[in-house]
Structure 1
Amino acid sequence: MLHLRLIVPPDRTERVVDTIERTVGTTHLAVLAGAARHPSGDLVMCDVAREAGDELIGSLRELGLDRDGAISVETIDLSLSRRADDAEEEAPGEPADAVLWEQLTDATHEESTLSVTYLAFLTLATMIAACGVVLDNAILIVGAMAVGPEFGPLAGFSTAVVQRLPRLAVRSLVALVVGFAVAMAVTVAFSLFMHGVGLFTFSMLEGDRPNTAFIYDPDAFSFVVAVLAGVAGTLSLTSAKSGALVGVAISVTTVPAASNAAVALSYGDYGQAGGSSLQLVVNLLGIIIAGTLTLFVQKWLWTRQRRSMRKPAGTA
């Protein structure tokens, strides 16, 4: 269940209440006239099943509450109420399958911002992976994958395409391009430093690396895994069950490919650098394509259900 707290201009309170009452899956409606001070207005609260949340939030935005009042949404961890149980039964679908598009857009907007923290995590992940590829250490590679924050802007770009948000698309692309460019440049300098102190050698890069050779040798499986990971990652972001995102992060070869390309560039091995760069592009494209198609399918499915999310007034 979701809890909505609304600040409503008095001239729209009746329409807001009517909208809530007509939305399937709502309950616990309360109206406090004149309770809001900044901005001034009436305070309206209700609970809504997650499955009906996107429908209701969209309707409230159409009434201008996000502009002239406020819409706050919280997740209810525990609700002991027969009416809440009935509301969830009435709402079509399952809570775990519901998509809150406003929440997704807001979350991906934040994760797609080119910030110092984002650059730091991506750079550190690439440097860790550089140690992993030189030492042929799969544990370090997995750790670097988990640290990398690149799935945020990838999901942001997919969301921007589906929701037609060009500014989010540009923001996501900038975060990806600039982020990887900075991370790889710093990793080149890091590799040269490690070589200078005798910890990296050219023979280590060119030697037999059975655990990490796949990083600079992309094949059809690279794209297949990226597509599957893109679907899984998108589902983890849009559903109520997001624990799968870490598993997605360690299943695609984005950060390791960027790190191997950087180390290879520092030694002038353009063959490995080119193969690793191709691996990086293949993975990025696979995730974006899969994420975008997944969101399109989810939007289509939930659009079909919106027709059944209305009920007669006075039954909340």
Structure 2
Amino acid sequence: MKKVVVHVREDGRRDVENALEGLRYTISLVQDVYEITTYTPEENLDNLIEKIRDKLDLEHPENMIEVSSPDFVVSSLLERFEKDVDGQEETTPVEKLLDTIKGYETLDLDKLALTSIAGLIALSGLLLDNETIIIGAMLLSPIMGPIYGFAVYAALGMIQDALRCIGVLAALLLGVFVLAAVATFLISLVMPLGPTDEITTRLVLNPIYTLMAVLLGFAAAVAFNKGTTEVIAGVAIAAAIIPPTVVAGFIQILDPIQLFSSALLVIGQIVGLMAGALVAVALLKIEPRRPHEKAVARRYRKWSVVTTIILFALLLWLTTFMWI
């Protein structure tokens, strides 16, 4: 159950009441601004917000829509509403999605530090041939955010923010690659290094890795959309992309000849994860509210999907060719 409070000026009050036709609501006047309060099941929230936004002029700073989750509501009327919508598909409001991914399009020191530390820990696990340490390192990495942010921004037609998310992802992985290369070089000065079993398995190109990345991207995006925290949803993503990036940095120092195949594996994982996330947001029907915004979003979404499919097909062909 959600509580919706609409703050509206006198000249827009009637329009908002028309949007709430059929619902029970209360009205109070606070400093020349009306506060209209109603309750709705979560399944109806997105449609209700769309109706209110169509009637509410948000150009005025006094007008706003406030949504919150009360601990509980005791009402026979609301219980009947919940029974009526029982079984309907629940959709996440666009505003909530945007709030969820806010900040993923910007690079900050915290993200860079956490990802770099995760890379160093993963390098330790790779050198020690310890899978537990490698997986444990993934708990620190915030790598899921930019991938999910890219998919949602692309679905909403916010292409500049989507490209910024790709830039943030590239910067984070570049930091991991450089740090892994520097650490490998420094360690090699004091002790001999060689590829362990965990490193060797990430040097073999296999098209199954790319297909697995698609499934991981899809599953993580769905989990993230349903409210799963980034740490939990991102572990699988980080496990799929951080160790191969660390291996690429390791190989850059000890065996540069294999860098191409290692880099190709990393790129294949990235494209696969993005492809899976795009499929997920499409099936979740994430799109803008207004018709003209939907048209723009569809155009950009098609561009993103076509580009991703071409890259995915190319990488899949390359990995299959080199694997054979």
The TM-score with structure 1 as length reference comes to 0.80
Q: Deviations over 1:4-29 (max 9, x none)?
A: 2322122112211221235xxx65x2
Letter in 1 for 2:14: E
Find the counterpart in structure 2 of residue 20 from structure 1: 20
Aligned counterpart for 1:30 among listed residues 23, 26, 39: 26
Find the counterpart in structure 1 of residue 51 from structure 2: 59
Aligned counterpart for 1:180 among listed residues 173, 179, 183: 173
The alpha-carbon deviation at position 273 of structure 1 amounts to 3.0
Find the counterpart in structure 2 of residue 314 from structure 1: none
- Give the structure, 1 or 2, with the largest relative contact order (CA under 8 Å, sep 6 or more): 1
Find the counterpart in structure 1 of residue 95 from structure 2: 102
Find the counterpart in structure 1 of residue 64 from structure 2: 70
The alpha-carbon deviation at position 254 of structure 1 amounts to 0.5
- Which residues in structure 2 correspond to 1:80-159 (within 5 Å)? 80-91=74-85, 93-94=87-88, 97-159=90-152
Q: Which moved more, 1:290-299 or 1:188-197?
A: 188-197
1:185–1:283: structure 2 CA closer, same or farther, 3 Å change rule? same
Conservation of the 8 A alpha-carbon contact between 1:104 and 1:237: no
Letter in 1 for 2:265: Q
Aligned counterpart for 2:36 among listed residues 36, 44, 61: 44
Please tell me the root mean square deviation across aligned C-alpha atoms, in Å.
Answer: 2.7
The alpha-carbon deviation at position 212 of structure 1 amounts to 4.6
1:302–1:175: structure 2 CA closer, same or farther, 3 Å change rule? closer
CA distance in structure 1 between the partners assigned to 2:178 and 2:146 by the alignment: 20
The alpha-carbon deviation at position 65 of structure 1 amounts to 5.0
The alpha-carbon deviation at position 291 of structure 1 amounts to 1.4
The alpha-carbon deviation at position 189 of structure 1 amounts to 2.0
The alpha-carbon deviation at position 164 of structure 1 amounts to 0.7
CA distance in structure 1 between the partners assigned to 2:7 and 2:92 by the alignment: 24
| Structure 2 residue 152 is the aligned partner of structure 1 residue 165 | no
1:300–1:128: structure 2 CA closer, same or farther, 3 Å change rule? closer
> Secondary structure of 2:228's match?
coil
> Secondary structure of 2:26's match?
strand
Conservation of the 8 A alpha-carbon contact between 1:137 and 1:212: no
CA distance in structure 1 between the partners assigned to 2:64 and 2:286 by the alignment: 28
Find the counterpart in structure 1 of residue 247 from structure 2: 260
Letter in 1 for 2:159: P
- Which residues in structure 2 correspond to 1:217-228 (within 5 Å)? 217-228=204-215
Q: Deviations over 1:103-150 (max 9, x none)?
A: 112212323321111111111111111111111111121112222211
Aligned length: 286
The alpha-carbon deviation at position 257 of structure 1 amounts to 1.0
Q: Deviations over 1:159-196 (max 9, x none)?
A: 12211111221221111112211232223222223334
> Secondary structure of 2:20's match?
helix
Find the counterpart in structure 1 of residue 2 from structure 2: 2
| Structure 2 residue 286 is the aligned partner of structure 1 residue 295 | no
> Secondary structure of 1:274's match?
helix
Identity level (%): 20
Q: Which moved more, 1:137-146 or 1:72-81?
A: 72-81
Structure 1: runs of 5+ lacking an equivalent: 304-316
